[in-house]
A and B are shown apart, each in its own frame.
Chain A
């Protein structure tokens, strides 16, 4: 495997990690806010908070990893994307700042403050929307190079049906992923009311998800025919992903084995996400920048890979510990731990 492929695979994997963790995170925040509006707060808030509290900063790190690694492995992306993303990425940043801060204000500080909860719930849902615009830009057709500087055509970007289908997919995916995950988590906690509610949401969003995904492929056929061809070549991966989707929906429908449902869900998104990534190959920014032209020098690439491996050796056991304590610990999940109770009372859950 060449260093270029290795680099982009690592980054794409991190992005995938962010998509899944971020979706759970943002979706959970949104459901929490939504339940406040509809008065179902008491049903799900505890479950959501118990999962989110120790984990959300870890989620954010996946995102930072992705963009720092991007500049490290492919420094030219800073030049091409840096200028044109000023507005969309800044909006995403502003939303992330609001989301992270108000989450902390509500959870650690003013427990149950409705304004704060609404604020971070809504900001969270808009983050994937604003970030997904970057994917649309990478498809090409919105950037022109004028006097050696890349310029973004905002009009074309925001009137393109492709952009909007990607935005819609990102939002629907967030809600679907979070709902399936939380069904499992609530079920594990033995909280039937919360499980039923989340299960209902999961089923609600399952069909819109497939329709939105199909919409994007359809839009691509006219927007970027070359990539559309490659997607058709990879039809079997997308097909497999679709089967996994059916599996998830079936399990959730039958209220069976939520754990397996979450596994299938992750598999479904992984297949689709990587197939989409492969269909973009070799472009980082169509048609200006490929992973080969954009790649860093060899010395940097090798040192990044070495650090990456060393880092994983340190992190994997730590993450395992975190998951063991908070995700797979029955007593914690059920809120039976002594400290969970006293913390929840004190507003530190």
Chain B
């Protein structure tokens, strides 16, 4: 399969690269905001712990950014290498946001370089803080522009095809597609949420591993609070994403919900399995919930898969991707809400070991939710690469060597994934917070003496 079917090979390579890159991309979008918040709190409260938090996050960040940059380069170039026919069309219609993305990233990279190397070059700390603004904006804008391209693939517009020729091209209309508002905001909110929970994982882990330093407690509280805000945002926007799907890509929603018959007052199915005859078993049924997700009213009609020809039905496996994403989303809202309330109300169990272990788990779980979300979006668009206009069969390369590339890239990503963890781990273990705080004290003491 992999070696003699370039279409299949291209799909595999694209999903591997996307799945790997999206971890670093998410970190790349979210961490600058968290650094900025910590740095700001540090200046406001005049609390060295928060400044050090920003410093240490930034130090780890430059490593992940590097891997993000190169895998992102791979992703961008692979689009042309694996889907040349699609990119020829896309180049004509949707090249603008791709171009914009490069500018946004450029902007971010320059100021990140400056920020990371100028910790002691400003007398006034607030000036150094200002350098973060272009970093956060650039990172956010990159995510926005790339998601704009993905939105275009889901709800293409801004051109017409007459006799096989592209006419009436409008690059601006192609950017502002119906999918764009929900997608862009969902991607941003989930990136901020995921990063907040990842950083919370680290803090909780440190607390579990014996360090009882207040530095970690402050970090945990701050990141859980951010996580709470953004996970609520993610869920609310996710609900709007469902409404977008019901209107513009009903086949994707129906496949995600195993919703076979068009009906009013449709229930939401969670989990379950499909038996041989197309019957759903062992599912959890939430009455009317699908109608509410689709249009906000419990009695509205939701289009089922019976309305679509079989060859245009997306793979039914996306049901599980959807379930995983939503379950994790809900779980994280509850986890962070209970934690936050618990700290305010002094419930002892939120400081217990088992609760901290749940928080440690929350970071990786959020990453899994990101992956599940992208798989749902991408696999759920099958068989189309450009919804309703071009199939993946028509878009793919005819090269014979895709299979080999899958192996090479897959192997390299594996090595890099492990490498990142090893390097980050070594970097922070060699230089623990306690030591760094002591050194800072020493320098301060030396300066005033």
Q: Which residues of A contact B (CB under 8 A)?
A: 53-55, 57-58, 60-61, 63-65, 67-69, 71-76, 78-79, 81-87, 89-90, 93-94, 96-105, 108-110, 149, 296-297, 299-300, 303-304, 307-308, 311, 314-315, 318-319, 321-322, 325-326, 337-339, 342-343, 346-348
Contact = CB atoms under 8 A, between A and B. Distances in A.
B169 A104 contact: no
A339 B70 contact: no
Nearest to A98: B412
A101 B106 contact: no
B118 interface: yes
A343 B109 CA distance: 19
A110 B100 CA distance: 34
A68 B166 contact: no
B95 A101 contact: no
A83 B62 CA distance: 34
A338 to B, nearest CB: 5
A307 B103 contact: yes
Nearest to B73: A64
A303 B95 CA distance: 10
Contacts of B87: 71, 75, 78-79, 82
B106 A315 contact: yes
B76 interface: yes
Contacts of B71: 97
The 3 closest A-B pairs by CB, nearest first: A75-B91, A82-B84, A104-B66
Contacts of B89: 75
Contact of A96 (B73, B91, B416): B73
Contact of A100 (B69, B114, B120, B401): B69
B394 interface: no
Query: Dominant SS at the A interface?
Result: helix
Interface stretch (B38-46, B329-337, B381-389, B420-428): B420-428
B62 A108 contact: yes
Contact of B409 (A79, A90, A149): A90
Contacts of A318: 107, 110-111, 134
Contacts of B427: 108-110, 347
Contact of A322 (B65, B66, B113, B430): B113
A94 B401 CA distance: 15
B359 to A, nearest CB: 26
B69 A57 contact: yes
Most buried by A among B63, B84, B102: B84
A54 B405 contact: no
A339 B93 CA distance: 47
B347 interface: no
Contact of A303 (B103, B172, B398, B426): B172
Given A97-B70, A300-B96, A72 B63 contact: no
29 contacts: A57-B69, A57-B112, A57-B113, A60-B69, A67-B80, A68-B101, A71-B91, A82-B82, A82-B84, A87-B399, A90-B78, A93-B74, A93-B409, A97-B70, A97-B416, A99-B70, A105-B63, A105-B420, A108-B427, A110-B423, A110-B426, A308-B99, A315-B103, A318-B107, A318-B134, A322-B110, A325-B117, A339-B121, A342-B120
A58 B113 contact: yes
Nearest to A154: B401
Given A78-B80, A300-B169, A104 B96 contact: no
Contacts of B416: 97, 101
B81 interface: yes
B364 interface: no
A348 B115 CA distance: 13
User: Chain B CB within 10 Å — which of A71, A79, A99 has the most?
Assistant: A71
A208 B96 CA distance: 42
Contact of B401 (A87, A296, A311, A322): A87
Nearest to B134: A318
Contacts of B114: 54, 321-322, 325
Contacts of A61: 102, 105-106, 109
Given A296-B92, A304-B99, A347-B427, 19 more contacts: A58-B109, A64-B76, A65-B102, A67-B76, A67-B80, A68-B98, A71-B95, A75-B87, A75-B89, A75-B90, A84-B399, A86-B405, A104-B65, A105-B63, A108-B59, A108-B427, A300-B91, A300-B92, A322-B113
B193 to A, nearest CB: 26
Contacts of B112: 57
* Most chain B beta-carbon contacts within 10 A, residue among A53, A89, A97: A97
B265 interface: no
Nearest to B95: A72
Contacts of A105: 63, 419-420, 423
Interface string B399-410: 101100100110
A346 B100 CA distance: 36
Contacts of B361: none
